[in-house]
Chain A
């Protein structure tokens, strides 16, 4: 029963990664407060990530576009069911809350679960099922735009755990301009170090090509820009930018950007080397960031 194991792994991965946000009160409340349109935007982003992960390496090796779509729909659909089940176990689906809140909660908790399910389908797969190991393609074959895509997914996944919490708003409100500048430099320096100098599995020391985004500096700056955009989208989605001036929005983006840039670096480590057995090493690096 190969497919039963695939689905079991998908559900387990979804729970592993979704756990921190399933236990976060701000997220339960966001399910009640966020307008349906924003929830749809978030679900669309989550689906895009699921499709992207499955396209890079899914839980079936060879497949057509139709199969890719079917696998992605299955991953997202199972995530909806897993999120609803987990919320029910936690007693967060009290009927007196009203249908809009129940649906909203399930929708928002589906997102981290779907990320986990995609990770489970790809990098958490047992090496013998996944002969090339890790995500399969290495940094050179993924290309600079592919690496930025993976950086975006990593940023989204890390920042999603932090974006709904009040801490971002507090950090942003209290930060001085100097602190924000330091935060920018720290984000850039750490992501440069993680990907190119710290010798993690999946790290790189040589440029992957000769384009402007293939060198360490160019790639680091581009990945940081992607991280900031992801941060802004998440802050908007969770209503943190409502009624706040540009100074506060900027401070929030920079503060959340620290977390996002770590995620972007971790994401790039996953496709970094493509060496056999990267599944274990890569996924543990990814899971370090889950506590919210």
Chain B
């Protein structure tokens, strides 16, 4: 046998890498998870006072099969009796990924913060 153990190890790793990569891509082609599906989840427990008022961490997820570009999300809440609207923009939110952001208000919101997807670009 001309090939030594190192060659066998490298060949095995190479085949595994290619099969993994190409296999996954083929699965993606077959599965076709459809367009981007965007959801927003506020981490209400992690809201905290800040020098600028109040900050609330949020996680934006894309559970669809396509990426979304320039995702704009509006967060609305009642602060000190008045409606306050904050806007978030995400440059690129790939398929099956999540982005952690922080939304700011002038003070602690009263009640729930509501989120609305303003729009996104489908690349």
Q: Please list the residues of chain A having a beta carbon within 8 angstroms of any beta carbon in chain B.
A: 1, 3-4, 7, 29, 32-33, 35-37, 39-40, 43, 70, 73-78, 80-81, 84, 96-101, 103-104, 106-107, 110, 239
**Footprint of A on B, CB under 8 Å?**
3-4, 6-7, 10-11, 13-18, 21-22, 24-26, 28-29, 62, 65, 67, 69, 92, 94-100, 123
In contact, B25 and A103 (Cβ under 8 angstroms) = yes
A291 to B75, CA, bound (A): 43
**Do A107 and B25 form a contact, CB below 8 Å, given A7-B10, A74-B10?**
yes
How many whole Å from B17's CB to the nearest CB in chain A?
4
Q: List 21 A-B contacts (CB under 8 A).
A: A3-B7, A36-B26, A36-B29, A40-B25, A70-B11, A73-B18, A74-B7, A74-B11, A74-B14, A76-B14, A77-B17, A80-B21, A84-B17, A96-B97, A97-B94, A100-B65, A101-B97, A103-B21, A107-B21, A107-B25, A239-B123
**Of B10, B24, B65, which one neighbours A78 at CB under 8 angstroms?**
B10
Which of B15, B21, B22, B97 meets A97, CB within 8 Å?
Answer: B97
CB <8 Å contact, B14 and A100: no
Q: Would you give the shortest CB distance from B42 to chain A, in whole angstroms?
A: 17
Most buried by A among B25, B62, B98: B25
A-B contact sample (17 more), CB < 8 A, given A3-B4, A104-B94, A110-B21: A4-B6, A29-B92, A32-B95, A33-B69, A33-B123, A36-B26, A40-B29, A70-B11, A74-B10, A74-B11, A74-B14, A78-B17, A81-B13, A96-B99, A98-B96, A101-B67, A103-B24
Establish whether residues B10 and A100, one from each chain, have CB atoms under 8 Å apart when the complex forms. no
Across the interface, do A100 and B99 meet the contact criterion of CB distance under 8 Å? no
> How far, in whole Å, are A110 and B24 apart by their CA atoms in the complex?
15
Q: Are A40 and B26 in contact (CB under 8 A)?
A: yes
Q: List B contacts of A37 (CB < 8 A).
A: 29
Given A3-B4, A37-B29: A32 and B92 interface contact (C-beta under 8 Å): yes
Chain A residues closer than 8 Å to B92, beta-carbon distance: 29, 32-33
For A43, give the chain B residue with the smallest CB separation: B22
| In the complex, chain A residues whose CB is within 8 Å of the CB of B123 | 33, 239
Q: State the Cβ distance, A251 to closest chain B Cβ, in Å.
A: 21
Chain A neighbourhood of B94, CB < 8 A: 32-33, 97-98, 100-101, 104
Q: Could you say which of B15, B17, B22, B96 contacts A40, with CB atoms under 8 Å apart?
A: B22
Nearest residue in A to B18 (C-beta to C-beta)? A77
Tell me which residues across on chain B come within 8 A of A81, comparing CB atoms: 13-14, 17
Question: Do B4 and A100 have beta carbons less than 8 Å apart?
Answer: no
